[in-house]
């Protein structure tokens, strides 16, 4: 009898016993209702995917200042808490577990998305290349305003309060979004952080905000109900770093102090290579981290099983496959055909490409 682990080997993740290691990755879908409040169609979407070992929700801004895209849900108002509560109740009724991803986009925003048309904030006034997605269509990113030193504690407080709201909404835990070129990533990397104060310069300073935010969130939920997501190789949102191995090596080792539920790392992609990134396979960071490692990036079932069997990862998060296959664990278990995701319906819109992908039973 084989003792080799795979996607269907149960695992204890922090405070929870998961029936499988197939995680639904955080996926921005731009379908929140008025006031960035989760609505009925969002309840159906998450409920359909409750067979995941763990659901990590789409990124949700911790404050109005943290918003960078239209119709993304927030976790900073009573109405948003009530909207999310319907989702957590629906997922729990199906036997699932769900973490909320906490998000501040920093410079990846536009004044039209900010309170009172304010300039987006960042560690330094470095304009990102490219365009922001706004309610008026694509518009050029602006040069952000560098946060003043005395403003930084209020950023930490935004995450702390958002975690309290997430607890009130019934989430099993939260994931701190430190990846993909958003605010915490902007502070961590020297391509976007040109500060000369306690939050800039050496990596110990650049990692300070990530660690302070993680500490604040852990104070609310406990470390065994908190995850952190990082993207060491990513060039997404015009991100660079002069020494990503050293930068992320330091950050990953520093996160050990919190005894987190997991660390979630993105594998390098072809786009990262194309835009001058340093491709670092996540397994290189494995020896630096003491806890559970979750990996993400275009894994299929075979690659997921291989990563777990080899010990390179403990869990695998799936994005596009979960968009198109609400019952992905069942399909994997039966080696059943998979629905093809339609990229044209990933962002915005209504039910099409959101809650109308058929389950296996419907196809049969």
Domains in the chain with CATH codes: 11-362 (3.20.20.70)
- CA-based nearest residue to 205, from 257, 169, 254: 254
The Cβ-side half-sphere exposure at 53, using a 13 Å CA radius, reads 25
Task: Identify the pLDDT of residue 304.
Answer: 98
Task: Identify the pLDDT of residue 274.
Answer: 83
Task: Identify the pLDDT of residue 75.
Answer: 98
Q: Which of 69, 159, 165, 182 is catalytic?
A: 182
Please provide residue 317's backbone torsions phi and psi, each rounded to the nearest 5 degrees. Answer: -100, 140
Predicted confidence (pLDDT) per residue in 20-72, tens digit: 999 999 999 999 999 999 999 999 999 999 999 999 999 999 999 999 999 99
SS3 73: coil
Give me the DSSP letters along 27-57. Answer: -------GGG---HHHHHHHHHTTTSSEEEE
For helices 208-221 and 152-168, angle between their N-to-C axes, nearest 10 degrees: 30
Task: Identify the pLDDT of residue 2.
Answer: 55
Residue 354 annotated to the active site: no
Task: Identify the pLDDT of residue 187.
Answer: 98
- CA-based nearest residue to 293, from 253, 334, 261: 261
Which residue stretches of the chain have pLDDT < 50? Answer: 1
| Rounded distance between C-alpha atoms, residue 189 and residue 239, angstroms | 8
The Cβ-side half-sphere exposure at 74, using a 13 Å CA radius, reads 25
| Rounded distance between C-alpha atoms, residue 121 and residue 63, angstroms | 12
Q: State the distance between the two ends of the chain, measured CA to CA, in whole angstroms.
A: 32
| Rounded distance between C-alpha atoms, residue 354 and residue 71, angstroms | 14
Predicted confidence (pLDDT) per residue in 264-299, tens digit: 999 998 888 788 888 999 999 999 999 999 999 999
């Amino acid at each position: 009898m084989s003792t080799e682990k795979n996607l269907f080997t149960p695992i204890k993740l922090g405070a929870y016993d998961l029936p499988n290691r197939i995680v639904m990755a955080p996926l921005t879908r731009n379908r929140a209702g008025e006031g960035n409040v989760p609505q009925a169609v969002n309840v159906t979407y998450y409920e359909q995917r409750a067979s995941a070992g763990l659901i990590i929700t789409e990124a949700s801004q911790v404050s109005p200042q943290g918003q960078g895209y239209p119709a993304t849900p927030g976790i900073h108002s009573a109405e948003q808490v009530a909207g999310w509560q319907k989702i957590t109740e629906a997922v729990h009724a199906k036997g699932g577990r769900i973490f909320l991803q906490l998000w501040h986009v920093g410079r990846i925003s536009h004044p039209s998305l900010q309170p009172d048309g304010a300039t987006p904030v960042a560690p330094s006034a470095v304009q990102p290349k490219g365009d922001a997605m706004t309610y008026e269509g694509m518009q050029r990113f602006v040069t952000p305003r560098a946060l003043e030193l005395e403003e930084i504690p209020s950023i930490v407080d935004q995450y702390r309060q958002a975690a309290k709201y997430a607890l009130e909404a019934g989430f099993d835990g939260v994931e701190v979004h430190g990846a993909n070129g958003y605010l915490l990533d902007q502070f961590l990397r020297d391509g976007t952080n040109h500060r000369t104060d306690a939050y800039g310069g050496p990596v110990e300073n650049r990692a300070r905000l990530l660690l302070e935010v993680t500490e604040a969130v852990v104070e609310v939920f406990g470390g065994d109900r908190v995850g952190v997501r990082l993207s060491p190789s990513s060039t997404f949102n015009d991100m660079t770093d002069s020494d990503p191995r050293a930068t992320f090596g330091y950050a990953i080792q520093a996160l050990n102090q919190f005894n987190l539920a997991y660390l979630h790392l993105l594998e390098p992609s072809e786009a990262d290579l194309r835009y001058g990134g340093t491709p670092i396979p996540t397994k290189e960071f494995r020896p630096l981290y003491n806890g559970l490692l979750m990996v993400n990036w275009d894994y299929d079932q075979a690659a997921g099983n291989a990563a777990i069997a080899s010990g390179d990862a403990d869990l695998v998060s799936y994005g596009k496959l979960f968009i198109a296959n609400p019952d992905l664990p069942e399909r994997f278990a039966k080696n059943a055909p998979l629905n093809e995701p339609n990229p044209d319906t990933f962002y915005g819109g209504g039910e099409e490409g959101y809650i109308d992908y058929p389950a296996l039973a419907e196809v049969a």
